Structure 1
């Protein structure tokens, strides 16, 4: 039986590390920190800078202090460790 309290959110993140300011992807995530299980923070619009170009995307700050890096978030969305 599924956990009825499980919150899933869709966010827009860089599709790859070297996004060239153009490549974003929308992913759905279980909205809890993968490190400690607490709720992730509120989503806000931010900028990802790949070293050459900027990309508008979503970001959040987890209240627990753990940082979600976009590469790890992409793997999580794909169901990979």
Structure 2
């Protein structure tokens, strides 16, 4: 299925993800995202509780698994949301 075959989703969801790659300060940021895969424009998966690991640091945050199999890395999601 090509991206043009998807219906144009207008769904937005708010997630809490690590604010930086190294968990400096152990902080979360809250972002509202268009709920589509950045690669194929299919829907993103359901939001579930997740743990992000950086070395010995752990941070409780939100996670999801896209049904299409494409992975949303937190760094890419931060870039998607912009400054």
> Which TM-score tier does this pair reach, normalised by the shorter chain?
0.7 to 0.9
Greater helix content: 2
Q: What 5-or-longer segments of structure 1 have no aligned partner?
A: none
Runs of 4+ in 1 over 3 A off after TM superposition: none
Which residue of 1 is the match for residue 67 of structure 2?
Answer: 63
- Give the alignment's TM-score, normalised by structure 1: 0.87
Which residue of 2 is the match for residue 24 of structure 1?
Answer: 28
- Give the alignment's TM-score, normalised by structure 2: 0.85
| Pairwise CA RMSD | 1.7
Q: What 5-or-longer segments of structure 2 have no aligned partner?
A: 1-7
